[in-house]
A and B are shown apart, each in its own frame.
Chain A
Amino acid sequence: MKPIGAKRDYPRKVQEDTRRYAEHQAELVAKLEVLVASLDEERGQLEAEVQSLRAAVLSRESERSRLSVQMAEIVEENKRLSGEYVQVEEQSSSLANLYVASFRIHGSLDREEVLTAIQEIVISIIGCEEQAIFALDEAAGKLTQISSFGLEEDRLVSVPLGSGVIGRTAATGEAYIKDDHPDEGPTDPEEAGLTACIPLKVDDKVTGVIALFTFLAHKPGLADVDRELFELLETQAATALYCADLHANAARSSK
C-alpha cells in the first residue's frame, strides 16, 4: 500500500510531465517550422534555378536551330561553289584541249606532220582510234583517202562526191554527227560505225573530210568540247593542210 504523501504528489507529477512534454512538443514544432521555412526557401531557389535552366535550354535550342539553318546555308553554298569550281575546271580543261589542238595543227608546215597532228588530236583529245582523212579532188568528183588510223588498208580508199555520208558531207559542207541524226545513219557497209564526219574548209570551200568511226569504249559520248574541236578541225586543219601544200609547192618552185 502506497503512503498517503505519494498519492498526493502523483497529480503534480503528471501535471509536471505533461507541461514538460508540451514544452518539448512546442520546441519540436518551432524547429519543424524553421526547417519548413528553410525548405520552402530552398525550394524557391531551386524553382528559380529550374526556371533559369529552362530559359537556358530554350536559348540553346534556338541557337542550335539558328546554327542548323546557318550550317544548311553553308553546305548549300559549298555545294554551289564546288559545282562552280568543277565548271571552271571543265572550261579550263576544254580551253587547254582547244589550245593544244590549235598549237599542234599549226606547229608545222610539213604535210605529214600536220596529218599526224590531226590524227593524234582525234585519238588523244577526242578519243577515237578509227579515222580517215580525205582530200577532195573536184575535177575527178571524188574524195581520196590521204591518211587513216585503225581502219583496214583497203577500206574507203576513194569515195565518190555526194555518195554516202562521207561524200554528202563533202558535197554539202555540213558536218554529220550521228548523235544529232539518230535516224539517218550510214547505209553503205564501208561506212559502218561512222560516228562523225567533219568537212575540211578553207574560206567556206570544202577541201576534204575527216571521218571518225567507233569511239573508245570508255568514252561516254560526245561532249561540248568535242563539238568545239570539230569546228576547230573544220577550219584550222584545212588551213594547215592548205598552208603545208603551198609551202611544199613554194619549196619545189625555188629548187
Chain B
Amino acid sequence: MSKKKILVVDDSRTSLFLEQTILRKGSYQVVTALDGEEGVRKAHSENPDLVLMDVVMPKMDGFQALRKLRQDPATQNIPVIMVTTRGEGSNVETGFSDGCNDYVTKPVDALELLTKIKSCLHEA
C-alpha cells in the first residue's frame, strides 16, 4: 500500500522540519511549501491526501490559501488541518467557516497531530 502524501505549508523552517519529523514517523510521505502561494501551487501539482496549513505566513496567509483550495474543484475535497499559535475561538471559527477540517495549536503535540490526521484520512 502506497504511503499517503501530506503537504505541509509553513514559513518557519523549524516548524516544517518538526512536522516533517513527526509525519515521517507516522509513515507519511511529506512535501513542503514555505508560504500560502506555494502551498496552493503544490496542492495542484502534488495532489496530496491532506494539507497541514500554518495560519500566519508571508505572501498569502493560511486562511486565504484555504479559501483558494476550497474554491477550486481540483482541490476542494482535500482535507485541511490548520496549524495555529492561537487556539482561541475567533481564529478557530474563521478556519472552520473557511472550510478547514480540523486544527492543531503550536507547539504541536505529535500524538494529537497524528490522531487528527488519521481521523481526517479515515484511518482511525
Contact = CB atoms under 8 A, between A and B. Distances in A.
Interface residues of B, number: 20
B110 A216 contact: no
A129 B85 contact: yes
B22 to A, nearest CB: 6
A120 B21 CA distance: 16
A103 B110 CA distance: 18
Interface stretch (A16-24, A85-93, A177-185): A85-93
B110 A120 contact: no
Interface in A126-182: 126-127, 129
Contacts of B12: 120, 123-124
B107 interface: yes
A243 to B, nearest CB: 18
Given A100-B18, A104-B13, A104-B14, A89 B107 contact: no
Contacts of A121: 14
B21 A216 contact: no
Nearest to B88: A217
Contacts of B110: 89, 92-93, 96
User: Interface residue tally of chain A, by bracket?
Assistant: 20 to 34
Contacts, number: 65
Nearest to A100: B18
Kindly name the residue among A120, A125, A127, A219 whose own CB sees the greatest number of chain B CB atoms within 10 A: A120
Given A97-B18, A100-B18, A218-B87, A125 B107 contact: yes
A92 B18 contact: no
Interface in A73-115: 86, 89-90, 92-93, 96-97, 99-101, 103-104
Interface of B: 12-15, 17-18, 21-22, 25, 85-88, 105-111
Given A96-B21, A124-B108, A125-B18, 10 more contacts: A92-B25, A92-B110, A93-B111, A97-B18, A99-B21, A104-B17, A117-B13, A117-B14, A216-B106, A217-B88
Interface of A: 86, 89-90, 92-93, 96-97, 99-101, 103-104, 117, 120-121, 123-127, 129, 216-219
